[in-house]
Structure 1
Amino acid sequence: MRIARFSGRDDGGGDGLARYVTEPGLRPGLAIAVGLLVVPVLALGVQALRVGSVARDRRMASLRLAGATPRAVRAVAAAEAGGAALAGGLAAGPAYLALWVLLGVLPPGGLALLPAPTPVDAVAWAGVALLAAVGGALAGAAVQGRVVVEALGVRRRASSNRPGRLNPAVLVTGGVLVVAGTVGPVVEARAGAMAIYIMMVGILLSAFAVGPRLVGLSGRLLSRRAGAEALLAGARLTADPRSSGRVAAVLVICGVALGVDAALAVDFLTQRESTDTGFYLTGFALVALGVLVGACVAVLTLLVGAADGLLDARRPLATLTALGVDQPLLSRVLARQLAAVAVPAVVVGVLIGGGMPALPFLLVDPTGRAILTVVFTVATAVVAGLAAFVAARLTARLLRAHVRAATDPENLRVA
């Protein structure tokens, strides 16, 4: 919001701000990049609403036993989520001040990335806190609405594991917008800025439509492979592709941003016409850093979701252990499950992101520069896929204690 409001200035100044913020031609891209960083945080927030669902459901069941109506139970869930979201919104002000000191005060002149706070920001802060509280309350009520809480227990409304009926339409719409945003500047040179916004909307729609499908496909492929690890991991993914699909969608978006950044960087280096190489390379490095932050948040979301999934599956996991399945095997199953979510999403995202800048070059001038861009994009996808695989393995290692707790024979008594 600060960058969007500052973009109204066309004087090129900015009290020591970096040119990425002050130049009119670069500010829209910066605003889009900052906006995309919100997507992983929103996914983490949705996942946080599902954490501890077992204990929360039991607490809601006790309220029903005490005489609360289903509407009152949903109101309690909405109040809890809204209160947490309000606390987060109120913390946004101090968080921005800390970021301003880090990115706006400490850097030397001409390198600051955040403008100084103004009195208008106080009003905006209050609005953000209010919107966060309302959004959190609505999300909490929506999550609780999928659970039927009765006085003697909890049952969840049955829903299809397959993507919804609107999923194909959303996927096609997103694909059309991505193609239009990619080809638009080739057909009409003045469509540059608008094409970027159209492309970003298309990427968001396509990513969240393709995420569950990608997870479901990975699960089906694993289920067809020989071995207990692949079979169990595939069964877990096909049982609930939607929750993992949200994380996969965020990783697809991160991959797209990384692919675009890598393709534009290699194209810039092959031109060798600019005298301000350091400025642009620093910009590409900052974009890569932002992608890394978003990917870390997405991996954290995957970690939280996997931990909560282990809590929900305590009885089945304890049953497997009682039947002779050892804990190391279940840890390897979890690692394979997480890798099947993260690796394809990142690789597909990088290939799509790198292909978007390369497509106009191939259409207009299919020379060695375009081919080099494609080759570098594929190499980036391989490296990103390996990094996602390592992150999945590390995440599974962090969850070993949760696996050990979930396989305790005492969990056979869990209803």
Structure 2
Amino acid sequence: MRMLNRGRSRTERVRALLVAAGAGAATLLICTAVSLVDTRNEGSSLTALALTLLALPVAGLVHQANRLASATRERRLAGLRLAGATPRDVRLLSALEGGWLALSGSLAGALIYLITHLSGPMVQVPVVLILVTLSGVVSGARAGRHVISSPLGLVRRSRLRGPRKTDLLLTVAGVGLVVLPLLMTKGYFRIPVPFGGYGLAVSMAAGLVLVLFGVTLATTWLIRLYARRAGRRARSPEMLLAARLVEADPRAWARALSVVSLTVFFAAAAGAQQAGVGAYWHAHALVDLALLVALVTSAVALVVHQAEELIDHQRSFAALAASGVPERALGAVLVRQAFVAALPVCAVAALVGTLAVILPLGDIYQVRWLGWAGARAVAVAGIGVLAAVLVALAARPLLRGALRLDKLRA
């Protein structure tokens, strides 16, 4: 690790600082959220939800930064291979680096929590420290599995994986964990939920996690179908190339947009819940503020993904530029890629987030609230698509660096 970190560029130092800061922020937010959970106080629970919303996009950003790091340390990774390191050793170093950065950042976040919450609960701090550190290790190991280092350099190995039926099963299982406990307590059977309110909260939380993962992965189907349709109806070379690029690897775009879809999902769900519950306006305002910050974090994660995409396709783009394709046309390809991939993802996330609130509360949810919930869902879906397009526009400097003729070298 000392050899790997020797002579790091300013960009890599910033990336390492970003990973550590993200781990620290996630630790601080999760510890604070756990201390605020109170099943007897809906306002405190909503505040805890707002803090959790901030932690999840930060975690996604950290993983994207780890993926990018595996493809930017070419010279030092090749040096390690010349020194006798095996590909397994290189992946192990990536895991150790990810775990070390996560541990150092989470220790700083835990220290800030202990200082600012001297009278609050502390039992969750070591658990959160362990979970954040393990997540850093797993993220570093998984981020390096698509990279093969050799003494001659570094090769990106991306397995193009299409949609899978198990993705839909995750969504169905998540919806069941959310809806069934509510039907047990509010339906005709009146079956008691194990462990009472805490059992209900754990079941619904696990269900929401499965729904989020399921929706993120299942949108691969929609991304591929929409990209295929957009390619067939393309009226410009830029749109055709963008649609074919998205259609070739829809799962990567679904993974990259998972942070945006998470934000859109919770924003739509919060809007549907706010329409039906007028109290706790301060907690609702905090949730909306958390969603705004989460959207900004999602945009940063998309910038990292755009950089990774340009690294993967830099030779193809450089060849197009060398053949006479103007830089402006290639920039339009990036924008259309973001639009084609983000539109189905954000639309499905907004729809599922709204239904996740309306369906369990169908017996008390009034028709006049549907207008606000629907308008909020459409608005947040549009904002998500707009954020993806703006990120593609902001990636023009990265594209300019990928179009240099030296990228054509073997």
Query: Identity, % of aligned pairs?
Result: 32
Amino acid at match of 1:48: A
Q: 1:167 to 1:61 in 2, by over 3 A?
A: farther
Contact kept, 8 Å, 1:37 with 1:290, in 2: the verdict is yes
TM-aligned CA deviation for residue 47 of structure 1? 0.6
Q: Quick one: which amino acid aligns to residue 377 of structure 1?
A: A
> Cα distance 1:177–1:298, how it changes in 2: closer, same or farther (>3 A)?
same
Distance 1:2 1:395, change over 3 A: closer
SS of residue paired to 1:149: strand
Whole-angstrom CA distance in 2 between matches of 1:92 and 1:250: 22
RMSD: 3.2
- Measure how far apart 1:299 and its partner are: 1.8
Match of 2:101 among 81, 84, 87: 84
The 8 Å contact of residues 182 and 356 in structure 1, kept in 2 or not, is answered as: no
Distance 1:203 1:215 in 2: 22
Are 2:208 and 1:207 equivalent residues in the alignment? no
Ranges in structure 2 where 5+ consecutive residues have no aligned partner: 1-30
CA contact (8 A) 1:247 1:298 kept: no
How far is the alpha carbon of 1:36 from its aligned partner?
A: 4.0
Distance 1:245 1:22, change over 3 A: closer
User: Secondary structure of the equivalent of 1:55?
Assistant: coil
- Corresponding residue for residue 288 of structure 1: 288
Preserved contact between residue 208 and residue 246 of structure 1 (Cα < 8 Å): no
Give the number of the structure whose alpha-carbon radius of gyration is greater: 1
Which letter maps to 1:233? Answer: A
> Greater shift after overlay, 202-211 or 305-314?
202-211
Q: Distance in 2 between matches of 1:248 and 1:183?
A: 32
Residue 169 of structure 1 aligns with which residue?
169
Per the TM alignment, residue 307 of structure 1 is displaced from its structure 2 partner at its CA by: 1.8
What's the CA shift for 1:316?
Answer: 0.7
Which SS does the other structure have where 1:148 is aligned? Answer: strand
Alignment match, 1:316: 316
What letter is aligned with 1:211? T
Secondary structure, counterpart of 2:148 in structure 1: strand
The residue identity in structure 2 corresponding to 1:208 is F
Closer, same or farther in 2 for the Cα pair 1:177/1:315, shift >3 Å? same
Written as runs of structure 1 = structure 2, the 5 A alignment for 1:43-122 is: 43-93=60-110, 96=113, 100=116, 116-118=117-119, 121=122
- Is 1:410 the equivalent of 2:401? no
* C-alpha spacing 1:53/1:219, structure 2 compared with 1 (3 Å): farther
TM-score after normalising by structure 1:
0.77
1:264 aligns with 2:273: yes
Rate the CA distance shift 1:93–1:356 in 2: closer, same or farther, 3 A.
closer
The aligned counterpart of 1:346 is 346
Aligned pair partner of 1:223 in 225, 231, 242: 231
Correspondence 1:390 to 2:386:
yes
Count of aligned residue pairs for this structure pair: 371
How far apart are the structure 2 equivalents of 1:183 and 1:221?
40
Aligned residue type for 2:228: R
* In 1: Cα distance, 2:179 partner to 2:129 partner: 37
In the superposition, the TM-score normalised over structure 2's length comes to 0.78
**1 CA distance for matches of 2:346 and 2:377?**
7
